[in-house]
Amino acid sequence: MTDSLLNVEKLVKKFGGLTATDSLDLDVQEGEIHAIIGPNGAGKTTLINQLSGLLKPDSGSIQFNGREINNLSAPQRCHEGLVRSYQITSIFKDFTVLGNVAMSIQAREGHSFRFWNNAYMDTSLAEKAMKVLTETKLEEKADVLADNLAHGEQRQLEIAMAIATSPKMLLLDEPMAGMGPEESSSVTKFLKSMKSKYTMLLIEHDMDAVFALADRITVLVYGKSIACGIPEEIRSNKEVRIAYLGDG
């Protein structure tokens, strides 16, 4: 537990009569890719919303990098190094691809209370943003309006924006949502290459990607973790097979 970059203890979240997060325990080690799988309605996005600071849990604790972050706002958590991406693409549609990423870079750099100099001509911002675009294979689309990108490219931008904040850990909410097999495998390769740079908590339905990437897998059913272990353990776990993977 002492190596855990992220440590969640007894997290609870209820909506009226519905328990979305049921006394959840979770830990993510530094440098690992930890996947969360589970049937729809298991409370995965609710979990990410609580971890990223958009939703306040009813009780429980969230520790990041040794610090209790439960009372920190979403922007504050970003500055601690915990950054998320969205399942449903959430970008700045009327900005260019470069512009989108530049906003993340600017967030990390600070100095946003500058009122006079033209930010669009700021080469340092543009250079750093282009670096991220090159990493995420979007450099050719730098000047395209985000709204005009293809769905798969928007998903790439989605992740690029999270990466551009120079996080310690990424919370990836179904990065491959709505992608075909080719795109998915390309994103899987990409995430694998990022492994040494960022710790990742990955929520995914795409089992090929999960088993290719994950060091450990937690299975979430009805807001509770029913199993946690290395992929082999999970694959052969009877409860998991019944609840989620489908028997046989």
Partner 1 sequence: MPVIAPLIGQEFYTDVFARIMIVTIAAISLNFIMGYGGMISFGHAIFVGIGGYSVGILASHGIESAYIQWPVGILMSGLFALIIGAISLRTRGVYFIMITLAFAQMMYFLSVSVEKYGSDDGLTIDSRSDFGLSFFDLNDPMTMYYFAFILMICCLYLNLRIVNSRFGRVLRAGKSNNERMTTIGYPTFRYKLVAFVIAGMMCGLSGLLTANFEDFVSPDMLFWTFSGELIFMVVLGGMGTVMGPLGGAMIFLFLSEILSNITEAWHLIFGPFLILVVLFARGGVEGFLKKYEGSND
- List of residues contacting partner 1 (CB under 8 A): 52-54, 73-76, 78-79, 83-84, 86, 90-95, 99, 102-104, 106-108, 111-120, 122, 161-162, 164-165
Q: What is the 3-state secondary structure (H, E, C) of 214-229?
A: CCEEEEEECCEEEEEE
Compare residues 117 and 123 and give the one whose CB is closer to partner 1: 117
What helix, strand, coil percent values describe the chain, rounded to 5? 40, 25, 35
Residue closer to partner 1, measured from CB, 161 or 187 = 161
* Closest distance to partner 1 from the beta carbon of 227 (Å): 29
Q: How far is CA 14 from CA 8, 18, 51, 69, 180, in A?
A: 17, 6, 15, 20, 35
Residue 83 CB, shortest distance to partner 1, in Å, is: 7
Closest separation in Å from C-beta 38 to partner 1 = 22
Closest CB to partner 1 among 92 and 190?
A: 92
Q: What is the CA radius of gyration of the chain?
A: 18
- Taking the C-alpha atoms of residue 32 and residue 12, their distance in angstroms, rounded to an integer, is 25
- Closest distance between partner 1 and the C-beta of residue 139, in Å? 20
Nearer to partner 1, 149 or 219 (CB): 149
- State how far the Cα of 59 lies from the Cα of 102, in Å rounded to an integer: 36
